[in-house]
Structure 1
Amino acid sequence: MKPVRPQPATPPALSENDRQALNDLYVRGTPENTLRAYERDLLYLTAWKQLSFGAPLAWPEQHECALRFILDHSRDLGDATGPAREVAEALIARGLRRSLACPAPATLNRRIASWQAFHRMKNLDSPFDSPLLKQARAKARRAAARPTAPKSRNPITRPVLEQLLATCRGSRRDCRDRALLMLGWASGGRRRSEIASLRVEDVSLRDFAADGIAWLMLVETKTTRRGATPRLVLKGRAAQALVHWLEVSGIEDGPLFRPVSKSDRVLTRRLTPDAIYQIVRHRLQLAGLPQDFASPHGLRSGFLTQAALDGAPIQAAMRLSLHRSVAQAQRYYDDVEIVENPATDLLG
């Protein structure tokens, strides 16, 4: 059963038309990825509350319920007995939970953040803002601390990217994948949601004939608000691949990257982020690499890793990757620098 998207609380004095307009404004003003996360989390929270307490979610939620949620999701239930394990097994059976292992801290934090957001939408105080719940969350984070798992098993550096591009030959699908991979990598390591959201109207080719440059304008990214994303540039082979895709596809407006049928016909709808994930897996397989060698995020980590290998200043790389934190981008540079550190060769 698909959950109803959470709606903002509205004053009773508003007319039905005004309430619909406000709800529509809320949905249009929230990033699509955030809406999808809200839906998944609302489904999970609703099921957990029903299984644990035999009741639906309450607004505002009781502190005892919120504390139980933290406790049940801050430990490994594999060796446990009792209600917490029974609820977890029921959630696994419904496909809402993967295992009895302690969920990753990031997963717990995201679900609690969604729960807090639902309270804000209804103009209510969240129980997670109380001192007791804040302290419990802090203890849970420390108890479950673990190294952050990379989003991609390996970075897609330039040599790996060339292997993937070599699998793209002459069909429209090959032209699309070549342009998609090059754009995603060379424009600073774009996230798959950003690639999927691109439209032809976001591409400017005014300087292509003279300088071989294509300009990109992303509406928004994870780190920039709507309308505040700076222009990005594509040069050389990447710009040429993009122009070639536009020529062979015949696309003049609308979604930039679209599905291609088995008969090599370009469809009208846009590619989904999951489709981009499947494209990367398919190209890895064609290149003779394991399908789990890298994920689409490998385009992003590979761009920064290659920038470090080539000696590009981190500030220059961040101008394209749009990383908000120097410390976050520095991790890719640190991995390269420690390998090149002469102190690692002292033993010979």
Structure 2
Amino acid sequence: MNAVEDAAAATGRVAGTTAAATTSTALVQPGGLVDEIAAARSYRQKAKAANTLRAYASDWNQFEAWCNERSLEPLPARPEAVATWLAALAMAGKADSTITRHAAAIAWYHRRAGEVAPQHRDPRGVIADTLAGIRREQRSRPSARKAAITAAQLKAMIAEAEGEGTRAIRDRAILALGLAAALRRSELVALQVADVAEVNEGLKLTIRHSKTDQEGAGQVIAVPTGKELRPVKRLEDWLAVRGRAAGPLFLQIDPQGQLTRNAMSDRSVARLIQRYGAKIGLDPETVGGHSLRAGFLTEAARSKASLAKMQEVSRQKKLEVLLGYVRSVALFEDHAGEGFL
């Protein structure tokens, strides 16, 4: 090694030692470590969407109460106890997706408490087998999915929201926008005023979180002005009443008809749809929050919209779901027996 190489090596050793010392010092600095721990805790709390955490809390409270009534230990819970709880939910008529979420909530609460989730200490697989059995049984039954509300039906429902009162104006906007943007009820109530951007062609809606976007990457939906349902005009009318101050787009209205500053609940949107559906002769039991989204996809399929364009609005990750709407609409088109039956 020549003199130049000796100097470079020495410099590297000193630099490496200095860097290591600097890093070590930074890690043991009380203020820095406290801030970093707080940041780590904050990021952990953001790992789940707020709606998911609320659902998990409700699920856990139910499981805990069920265990207490039966003198079972909820934390740590035995796999057999969890499997029995999931079976009880199925007996109560809960959907397999809801039951799966209950299982996830139990696992999450165990991890948060520093315990191994029951699913990970279940060598006999009783939890997995119970869930598989529930799914198999439920999927063999006729679907209980809420019926689609067509554009014509929605137009009639909007007409039932008569007058220029605050509630009527808000309800017309919810109905029109819900179908026009193929929104889930949770997405409708999560919208903020800042999520609405007016453009020449209509609106751009930013959906910050959704069932298929749990990380909150955000998605933008185009909403045309429209000639029949006129979602843009309905929303403009509502904003003229609500005002454009920051906050939830769709606000609760108190019994006296006064606006609050609180966002509507997703359940209240479902009830709103059922109420107006009943006014035009629909069975309230067959329609709900999903009916507007299903209505958009049904009408889009009927209008021969491409799957890509349908997916652009609905944001479905699985094309099979969209194909289901297309097949349903096209059942009698070019039927194999049309020429001889």
Q: Percent of aligned pairs with the same residue?
A: 24
Alpha carbons of 1:230 and 1:105: their partners in 2 closer, same or farther (altered >3 Å)?
closer
Contact 2:86 2:130 in 1 (8 A): no
Q: 1:180 corresponds to which residue?
A: 174
**Greater mean deviation of Cα atoms: 102-111 or 238-247:** 102-111
Contact 1:73 1:102 in 2 (8 A): no
Task: Say whether residues 1:120 and 2:93 are aligned partners.
Answer: no
Q: 2:137 corresponds to which residue?
A: 145
Equivalenced residues, count: 304
Deviation of the 1:174 alpha carbon: 1.4
Q: 1:36 corresponds to which letter in structure 2?
A: R
Alpha carbons of 1:345 and 1:142: their partners in 2 closer, same or farther (altered >3 Å)?
farther
**TM-score normalized with structure 2 length:** 0.77
Q: 2:187 corresponds to which residue?
A: 194
Q: 1:69 corresponds to which residue?
A: 82
Q: Pick from 190, 200, 208 the counterpart of residue 219 of structure 1.
A: 208
Question: What secondary structure sits across from 2:137 in the alignment?
Answer: coil
Deviation of the 1:197 alpha carbon: 0.9
Deviation of the 1:47 alpha carbon: 2.2
Question: What secondary structure sits across from 1:338 in the alignment?
Answer: coil
Deviation of the 1:344 alpha carbon: 6.0
Deviation of the 1:265 alpha carbon: 3.1
Contact 2:252 2:259 in 1 (8 A): yes
Deviation of the 1:324 alpha carbon: 0.9
The structure that has the greater radius of gyration is: 2
Q: 2:51 corresponds to which residue?
A: 33
Cα distance between partner residues in 2 of 1:224 and 1:288: 35
Cα deviation digits, residues 292-311 of structure 1 (max 9, x gap)? 23101011111111111111
Structure 1 segment 306-317 matched on structure 2, within 5 A: 306-317=299-310
**TM-score normalized with structure 1 length:** 0.76
Structure 1 segment 1-348 matched on structure 2, within 5 A: 26-52=44-70, 54-59=71-76, 61=77, 65-71=78-84, 73-74=86-87, 104-130=95-121, 132-134=123-125, 137-138=128-129, 141-142=132-133, 144-147=136-139, 150=143, 152-169=145-162, 170-187=164-181, 189-205=182-198, 207=199, 211-236=200-225, 237-343=230-336, 348=341
Deviation of the 1:25 alpha carbon: 5.2
Q: 1:215 corresponds to which letter in structure 2?
A: K
Q: Which has the higher helix share?
A: 2
Contact 1:256 1:270 in 2 (8 A): yes
Alpha carbons of 1:222 and 1:137: their partners in 2 closer, same or farther (altered >3 Å)?
same
Cα distance between partner residues in 1 of 2:86 and 2:261: 43
Cα distance between partner residues in 1 of 2:178 and 2:256: 26
Question: What secondary structure sits across from 2:285 in the alignment?
Answer: coil
Cα distance between partner residues in 1 of 2:69 and 2:334: 54
**Which ranges of structure 2 fall in alignment gaps of 5 or more residues?**
1-29
**Greater mean deviation of Cα atoms: 172-181 or 264-273:** 264-273
**Which ranges of structure 1 fall in alignment gaps of 5 or more residues?**
1-12, 75-87, 89-96
Aligned Cα root-mean-square deviation (Å): 3.1
Alpha carbons of 1:46 and 1:214: their partners in 2 closer, same or farther (altered >3 Å)?
same
Cα deviation digits, residues 180-209 of structure 1 (max 9, x gap)? 11111111x11111110111111112x2xx
Q: 1:6 corresponds to which residue?
A: none
Q: 1:10 corresponds to which residue?
A: none
